[in-house]
A and B are shown apart, each in its own frame.
Chain A
Amino acid sequence: MKATPNNSKKWSVAGVYAALTAVSLIMLVPFLWMLSTSFKRPQDIFTYPPQLIPPVFQFQNYVDVFTLIPFHRFYFNSVYISFVVVAGTVFFASLAGYAFAKIPFTGRNAVFLVLLSAMMIPHEVTAIPMFLFMRDLGWIDTHLPLILLPIFGASGVFGIFVMRQFFITVPTELEEAAMIDGCSRFRIYWTIMLPIACPGMATLTIFTFVSIWNEFFDPLIFINTRELMTLPLGLSLFTDEVGTAWHYLMSATVMATVPLLIVFFLAQKRFIEGVAMTGLKE
């Protein structure tokens, strides 16, 4: 009598595990296949039946990629652009976020509302005049648009929003004490508020890094010279140029993905919580 509900419960747990394993496998197989192909020799790519473990590990693929395309340039460009954009976004967004949260100036709410509502402007609308604007400035085929647009554009506004939410929770008494001691606003922001806002800044850093590392549309529009391309753009062109050299392409994509995976595993909890908290952004 007792066995039936127990058994059915066991079965349902097993069913849950089976379903989750199936979905997880579908998610992970592309990565495994990418990793596997990245070590294959050209003649091992199309074998039947498909082999997950290559018969011969060709580490040379990873070296050849650098001579075939300026892969180290793509890499360097992606790293340094991400770094500058993250630093710029965190600084300017936290400065403005602090002001919107804690400094009572006239027009504050109105300006904030305008900023927020501008976030729904699709990027594709402003990209066209921006292209002409950058051309007039002589900034096409430079990294300036790739750095300035995310810091001050819609993703910067998103940063303000995140930082403001964070600063709002900090008690005002803390600042008042410092103000009585004669601290300037900037000093309060720099020495008191920023250290408190570290978790918020970490969340913003991860968000910004991931989105900039993956950004594709802007580099596609603004960059023509191969040496100036970022990883996603460089790799997307590589599909055309080398056509079916999948083993090279896969070793390049592995190398492009690894930094992201490292960042993700280091900051996994914060990132997932951040997504859940803000409930925004692709």
Chain B
Amino acid sequence: MNRKVKRRNKGPLAREAQVTGWLFISPMLLGFTLLLLFPMGKALYMSLNDWPLLGGHRFVGLDNYKDIAVDPLFWKVFGNTAYFTLGLVPFNIVLALMLALLLSRSLKGIGIFRTAIFVPVMTSLIVWSIVWKYMFATDSGLINQLLMLFNIKGAAWLYDERLAMPAVIVTSVLKNVGLNMVLFIAAIQQVSRSLYEAAELDGAGKTKSFFNVTLPMITPTVFLTVVMTVIGSLKVFGQIYVMTQGGPSNSTKVLVYYIWEKAFKLFQMGYASALAFVLFFVVLILTLLQWQLRKRWVFNEGDA
């Protein structure tokens, strides 16, 4: 009886919630379906077609993927992307972690350093890359001018096959290291003081307490940032577009640049879609891996 009354009272409200709930999310849901879900399906279909910009498309099954597998330029591009990622991620993470350790202490003027290191994160990647292109310039570049002060003849950084990619990597690390640094600072500050006190009682020094307390406690954050940075690195584009245009002789041509070139310069939309799906699968695997490991490591995550 009691239960029945309750249900009746709840009835109209619950029905109202059904309608308004869906109504409230409907603009986003509609936009999301049209602008994300539908294109995703279409991209998959396109990747199975020969799809020029003009004229009809032709279903070719997995041919695009087969072509990718034997495309020497793809493997070059794949290698370059791996080079960029493997060069950038450890450099970025280690530097961010070191800076976070230094900046999570309470020293005077720490805010100024934090700000200085964080400012590039929010600057436009294009502006940052333009300025660094200028700094790396062979004659008028600041770097070579400074080297000249020590009587060193600087290199043609962005025009040298061996040096262009490292130059882009350094530029990119400096641009984004502040982001990981902030995440690490937040994580480090959440480590309970009592753990350090306990470690100190056990006679642990600074180094020891870092490896025995700090690092294990922030492992979830470290792993999250590693995965996010790897995914970000796989999608590198803007700095390549501005600084090298994929050159010299394809030495900095990365996956997204290749996708962009195939799709929007050469208009091989089907082949480009297949390339994009290669990227998608790599990102998917990394994301799933991260979710899996996160479940194991993070305990008070809430429901989200």
B103: interface (CB < 8 Å): yes
Q: Are A250 and B279 touching (Cβ within 8 A)?
A: no
Residues of chain A within 8 A of B247, CB atoms compared: none
Q: Shortest distance in angstroms between A138's beta carbon and chain B's nearest beta carbon?
A: 16
Residues A217 and B27 in contact in the complex (CB < 8 Å), given A210-B122, A236-B242: no
Contact check, B241 vs A236: say whether CB atoms are below 8 A apart.
Answer: yes
Number of interface residues of B (CB under 8 A): 95
Contact between A115 and B32, CB atoms less than 8 A apart: yes
Contact across chains for A104 and B119 when beta carbons are under 8 A apart: no
Within 8 A of B (CB), among A214-269: 214, 216-217, 220-221, 231-233, 235-236, 239, 244, 246, 249-250, 253, 256-257, 260-261, 264, 268
Within the complex, what minimum Cβ distance (angstroms) separates A134 from chain B? 10
Interface residue range, chain A = 35 or more
DSSP majority for the B interface? helix
Contact check: which of A34, A186, A264 meets B122 at CB < 8 Å?
A: A264
Smallest beta-carbon distance B180→chain A, Å: 10
The main secondary structure of chain A at its interface with chain B is helix
Within 8 A of B (CB), among A25-39: 26-31, 33-34, 37
A-contacting residues, B88-137, CB 8 Å: 99, 102-103, 105, 107, 112-128, 130-135, 137
Q: A50-B145, A156-B31, A157-B32 are in contact. Are A17 and B107 (CB under 8 A)?
A: yes
Q: Is B195 an interface residue (CB 8 A)?
A: no
A170 at the interface (CB under 8 A from B): no
Which residues of A are at the interface with B, using a C-beta cutoff of 8 A? 13, 16-17, 19-21, 23-24, 26-31, 33-34, 37, 45-46, 48-50, 92-93, 95-96, 98-100, 103-106, 108, 111, 115-116, 118, 120-133, 148-149, 151-154, 156-157, 160-161, 164-165, 179, 185-186, 189, 210, 213-214, 216-217, 220-221, 231-233, 235-236, 239, 244, 246, 249-250, 253, 256-257, 260-261, 264, 268, 271-272, 275-277, 279-280, 282
Known: A118-B32, A126-B39. 12 other contacts (CB 8 A): A33-B131, A46-B140, A105-B22, A120-B283, A122-B235, A122-B279, A132-B269, A133-B42, A220-B241, A260-B123, A264-B122, A282-B228
